[in-house]
Amino acid sequence: MKTWDLVIIGVYLLSMIGVGIYFSKRNRNSEQFTTASGQIPGWALGLSFYATFLSAITFLGDPGKSFGSNWNPFVFSLSIPLAAWVASKLFVPFYRNGEAISAYSHLEERFGAWARTYAMVCFIMTQLARMGTIFYGLALTINALSGIEMPLIIIVSGVVIIFYTVLGGMEAVIWTEVIQAILKTLGALLILGLILNQLDITEIWAIGQRDEKFSLGTFQPDFTTSSFWVILVYGFFINLTNFGVDQNYIQRYHTAKNTQDAAKSIWLCVMYYVPVSFLFFFIGTSLYAFYDVNPGLISELKQQVSAEKNIPIQTMQLVDYADRVLPYFMKTQIPTGLLGLLLAALLSAGMSTMSSGMNSSATVFLNDIYLRYIQKDLSPQKQLRVLHIATIVMGCLGIVFGISMIGVKSLLDVWWKLSGIFAGGMLGIFLLGFIAKKVSNTAAKFAAIIGVIVIAWMSFKDNLPEAFRSPLDGKMTVVVGTLTILFTGILVQQILKKR
């Protein structure tokens, strides 16, 4: 990178810290730190949700997937409107009418402390997995452009995120996400514009059609492979978890001025994210066409990956270097100045999700652990101090997870597997309490135990003898786990009722 690129990146990082310092003056209590005192307008909250969805996983993973295979993962985005409809009609009013800031205190009221603790642990593990995946995605790109070691990149970017999140609280998180949402969108448009400047869109379409790059997957009712229906159902359940059980989202419902603004923000997120997701998949296909027309321009990347992974170039597959194609294109094809802007956009893609994740995780720690089990009566100043410390600890754990993920094959695949493991239990317990009003604590405990066993069986099927493996695609874990908990709880309650 040239000096001008580094200056742009430096200005961006300093501006994020500046936002944190600006809002630090308002953080005098835990309510302001966690919910911005309910003063965020709906349009800003919608951009905040959009920025969280459009993380570095989308920025790198979506183009990598469409480059390495096809548009099958785009079906995930098509499931969001249905989940948004359910959330805006049911979940937003439910949480806004409740006084508790924690999404999991409702589970204790319904089933007891065990349900609250189980969901809270699943949430924290999901956040750590998300932060680790995004940290690695950032490091992968910056390393390709600068040669700086990945662990150092993760540590430095993590410290910056922790700094402005601790200083500014949720208000700083949301307003930095508004900036980051705009940057990320402009970055995607700029990348596509640079590709189209060198390759005609009709060529991209012809090459994509020739090699079936635009395929959404088989429409056969096959749940043993990554079919259209598997991704659609998986996406619906994951997005239902996001909008209905994830503290990261639920906490921001409370930042809106009213229930209508909170519901409106979800639909604004859908309106922004679905077309931009389409854009990122098209970028991946465009990169495939670009290097299909200019195969010599990608030979250096193939040699690098061949040396790192000890894979002969002759046997190398697209998936082996798919996540690195976009960073490589940025490194070799984008002029000075614009590269700095694009890298700032990529940094914003990672920072938005991680800052909100740190803040919401700290909120869960304060409300579901500290005030619940350690010290119930705590002054507002001491609560704020606990939130600061918890944010720092969660940020550091995210850095550790990011470093541990260095070397994974596909960002999107890793994130989808981890989210499926932890999301199934959370959503299953929540729906059991929300839908089945008469299910008792005993039935819910039994359902949770069976659900955890099923989720573990499906998640680690590769470690089992072939005869005992689940025949379903791994992404069905969250679907089967959720439905197992829901229907087992209802069935056990019926048995208990008869007895």
Beta carbons of 137 and 184 less than 8 angstroms apart: no
- Whether 416 has a pLDDT exceeding 70, the answer reads no
CA distances from 347 to 21, 59, 146, 177, 179 (A): 19, 10, 14, 11, 12
pLDDT, tens digit (0-9, with 9 covering 90-100), for 53-83: 887 777 778 898 899 999 999 999 999 999 9
pLDDT of the residue at 369: 86
b (16+ CB within 10 A) / e for 116-133 = bbbbbbbbbbbbbbbbbb
Beta carbons of 285 and 213 less than 8 angstroms apart: yes
The stretch 210-228 carries a mean pLDDT of: 91
pLDDT of the residue at 347: 75
The stretch 166-176 carries a mean pLDDT of: 83
For residue 46, give the H/E element and its range.
helix 42-53
In whole angstroms, what is the distance from residue 35 CA to residue 16 CA?
A: 19
pLDDT of the residue at 406: 78
- Whether 337 has a pLDDT exceeding 90, the answer reads no
Residues whose CB falls within 8 Å of the CB of residue 311, separated by 6 or more in sequence, listed in order: 305, 320
pLDDT of the residue at 306: 86
| Residue-averaged pLDDT of the chain | 85
Structure tokens at 14: 């300093």
> How much of the chain exceeds pLDDT 70, in percent?
95
Cβ atoms within 10 Å, residue 373: 10
In whole angstroms, what is the distance from residue 403 CA to residue 392 CA?
A: 17
- β-strand partners of 40: 256
Least confident of 29-33, 85-89, 380-384: 29-33
Per DSSP, the residues of 109-176 read HHH-HHHHHHHHHHHHHHHHHHHHHHHHHHHHHHHHHH---HHHHHHHHHHHHHHHHHHHHHHHHHHH
pLDDT, tens digit (0-9, with 9 covering 90-100), for 275-324: 999 999 999 999 999 999 998 888 888 888 888 778 888 888 888 888 88
The stretch 188-200 carries a mean pLDDT of: 89
pLDDT of the residue at 76: 93
pLDDT of the residue at 150: 85
In whole angstroms, what is the distance from residue 76 CA to residue 236 CA?
A: 8
Beta carbons of 343 and 143 less than 8 angstroms apart: no
For the chain, the straight-line distance linking the first and the last C-alpha, in angstroms and rounded, comes to: 72
| Packing angle, helices 201-210 and 259-293, rounded to 10 | 80
pLDDT, tens digit (0-9, with 9 covering 90-100), for 222-236: 899 989 999 999 999
Beta carbons of 326 and 64 less than 8 angstroms apart: yes
Angle at 192 between CA 191 and CA 196, to 5 degrees: 120
- Whether 412 has a pLDDT exceeding 70, the answer reads no
pLDDT of the residue at 3: 77
Domains of the chain: residue spans and CATH: 3-409 (1.20.1730.10)
Tell me which residue of 498, 499, 492, 494 sits closest to 442, measured CA to CA.
492
Q: How many helices (H) and strands (E) does the chain have?
A: 22, 0
pLDDT, tens digit (0-9, with 9 covering 90-100), for 450-482: 988 888 888 877 778 888 888 988 889 889 989
Tell me which residue of 401, 407, 417 sits closest to 460, measured CA to CA.
417
Three-state helix/strand/coil letters over 252-271 = HHCCECCHHHHHHHHHHHHH
In whole angstroms, what is the distance from residue 99 CA to residue 95 CA?
A: 8
Residue type at 228?
Answer: F
- Residue 290 burial (C-beta neighbours within 10 Å; 0-12, 13-18, 19+): buried
Beta carbons of 399 and 155 less than 8 angstroms apart: yes
Beta carbons of 72 and 64 less than 8 angstroms apart: no
- Whether 274 has a pLDDT exceeding 90, the answer reads yes
- Model confidence at 85, in pLDDT bands (50, 70, 90)? very high
pLDDT of the residue at 410: 58
Beta carbons of 380 and 29 less than 8 angstroms apart: yes
Tell me which residue of 289, 274, 288 sits closest to 75, measured CA to CA.
274
Tokens 């239902």 correspond to 240
In whole angstroms, what is the distance from residue 137 CA to residue 162 CA?
A: 18
In eight-state DSSP terms, residue 462 is G
- Model confidence at 424, in pLDDT bands (50, 70, 90)? low
pLDDT of the residue at 318: 85
Question: What pTM value is reported for the model?
Answer: 0.86
Beta carbons of 95 and 219 less than 8 angstroms apart: no
In whole angstroms, what is the distance from residue 487 CA to residue 166 CA?
A: 42
Beta carbons of 445 and 496 less than 8 angstroms apart: no
pLDDT of the residue at 205: 94
Tell me which residue of 77, 121, 116, 111 sits closest to 422, measured CA to CA.
121
Quote the radius of gyration of the chain (alpha carbons, Å): 23
Among 119-123, 189-193, 335-339, the range of highest mean pLDDT: 189-193
Tell me which residue of 45, 59, 51, 50 sits closest to 415, measured CA to CA.
59
Residue type at 125?
Answer: M
For residue 384, give the H/E element and its range.
helix 380-404
- Whether 418 has a pLDDT exceeding 70, the answer reads no
